């Protein structure tokens, strides 16, 4: 067994234009003062990290790491969620996902894909330069618009979609293999990897590439009505990153899993601050500890009701309360001893 590290916080939802949220120093002091010991860094925000420099210069990474460490913090993982999303975009989503792309590749899907692939590759080198062994990202999606098949999907469409997704990711995965970093796909609605079956499809399509792993976030499974506890039993060996994010599912006579096109506050399934939703984190932390998952507990805030400042403040205590110091002792050790075959025979009567 292994003790989960934390508490940590994903900075993506807290970055802003007002102090202390507009700079790395400001966010580090804020997080440290709250009691966090780790930060997950989005690589799209140059005020936090220059991904190009991080991939080119070990000196830059040492200085960045030193600055963060000076606040009593560690980097848990780098994140390329937005760049990973742009590795695979169905044309139906081109206009909306262009919002995540830099100006030079907007309105040019081919150039946008190439830019995204290169950015995620750079994050592999940057992660190694920072001494990290896991990386957080999205898979992107070519098939999501067909998840509820009407009209019916043509035969072979799903297989072709995952073959193409793997084709785009394999060169990236090879770079991560070269630099000893695991790619942790956040299993998330809107991605082609959104549950257990789709993770297995992708894993198979990549030839069971050893760097294909999981960022486990139970909030997305509540919205899908998937058994998020059994998920750990199935896939614990792949879980290399962990988001502590809560959610709830409250269907009515008017709306359910699809949400009725309502905004977040009015949907049946909605995200909440840790402890305010329906996720059984006590069992999750027990399972992850039992299976020896070497992960950081990273709070991700996306609550539709509570302020991010209150959520972040409460998140420290919530995670600390749930982290289990893994025992190194078996409670019944006293009844053991060296094996004695003759004694064992007597016990069973042979």
Provide the number of structural domains found in the chain: 1
Beta carbons of 215 and 187 less than 8 angstroms apart: yes
Q: Which residues contact 343 (CB under 8 A, 6 or more apart)?
A: none
pLDDT of residue 323: 98
pLDDT of residue 331: 60
Mean pLDDT value across residues 280-288: 98
Work out the number of other CB atoms within 10 angstroms of the CB of residue 262. Answer: 13
CA distance linking residue 145 with residue 255, whole number of Å: 20
CA distance linking residue 200 with residue 210, whole number of Å: 13
- Burial of residue 308 (number of CB atoms within 10 Å: 0-12, 13-18, 19+): middle
Res 329 pLDDT > 80: no
CA distance linking residue 283 with residue 306, whole number of Å: 24
pTM for the full model? 0.95
Q: Report angle CA 88, 94, 97 to the nearest 5 degrees.
A: 75
Mean pLDDT value across residues 34-43: 98
Question: pLDDT tens digits, residue range 214-232?
Answer: 999 999 999 999 999 999 9
Q: Report angle CA 148, 149, 154 to the nearest 5 degrees.
A: 150
Report the CATH number that the domain containing residue 187 is assigned in CATH: 3.20.20.150
Structural domain for 227, as ranges: 5-348
CA distance linking residue 83 with residue 206, whole number of Å: 20
Distance of CA 237 to the CA centre of its chain: 15
Beta carbons of 300 and 245 less than 8 angstroms apart: yes
Distances (CA, A) of 132 to 60, 176, 245, 296, 349: 15, 11, 23, 12, 55
Res 326 pLDDT > 90: yes
pLDDT of residue 63: 98
């Amino acid at each position: 067994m292994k003790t989960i590290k934390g508490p940590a916080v994903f900075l993506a939802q807290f970055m802003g234009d007002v102090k202390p949220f507009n700079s790395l120093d400001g966010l580090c002091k804020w997080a440290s003062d709250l009691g966090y010991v780790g930060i997950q860094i989005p690589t799209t925000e140059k005020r936090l990290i220059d991904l190009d420099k991080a991939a080119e210069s070990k000196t830059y990474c040492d200085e960045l790491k030193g600055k963060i460490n000076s606040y009593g913090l560690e980097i848990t993982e780098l994140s390329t969620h937005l760049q990973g999303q742009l590795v695979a975009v169905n044309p139906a989503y081109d206009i909306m996902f262009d919002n995540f792309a830099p100006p030079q590749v907007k309105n040019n899907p081919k150039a946008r894909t190439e830019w995204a692939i290169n950015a995620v590759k750079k994050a592999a080198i940057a992660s190694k330069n920072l001494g990290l062994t896991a990386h957080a990202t999205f898979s992107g999606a070519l098939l999501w618009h067909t998840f509820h098949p009407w009209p019916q999907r043509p035969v072979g469409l799903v297989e072709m979609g995952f073959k193409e997704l793997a084709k785009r990711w394999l060169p990236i995965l090879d770079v991560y293999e070269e630099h000893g970093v695991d790619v942790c796909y956040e299993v998330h609605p809107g991605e082609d990897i959104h549950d257990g079956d789709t993770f297995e499809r992708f894993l198979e399509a990549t030839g069971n590439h050893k760097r294909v792993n999981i960022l486990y976030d139970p909030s997305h499974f509540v919205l899908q009505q998937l058994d998020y506890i059994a998920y750990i039993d199935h896939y614990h060996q792949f879980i290399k990153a962990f988001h502590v994010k809560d959610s709830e599912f409250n269907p009515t006579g008017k709306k359910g899993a699809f949400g009725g096109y309502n905004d977040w506050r009015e949907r049946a399934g909605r995200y909440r601050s840790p402890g305010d939703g329906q996720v059984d984190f006590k069992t999750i932390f027990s399972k992850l500890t039992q299976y020896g998952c070497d992960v950081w507990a990273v709070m991700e805030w996306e609550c539709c009701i509570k302020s991010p400042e209150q959520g972040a403040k409460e998140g420290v205590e919530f995670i600390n309360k749930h982290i289990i110091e893994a025992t190194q002792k078996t409670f019944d050790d006293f009844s053991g001893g060296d094996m004695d075959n003759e004694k064992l025979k007597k016990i069973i009567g042979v």
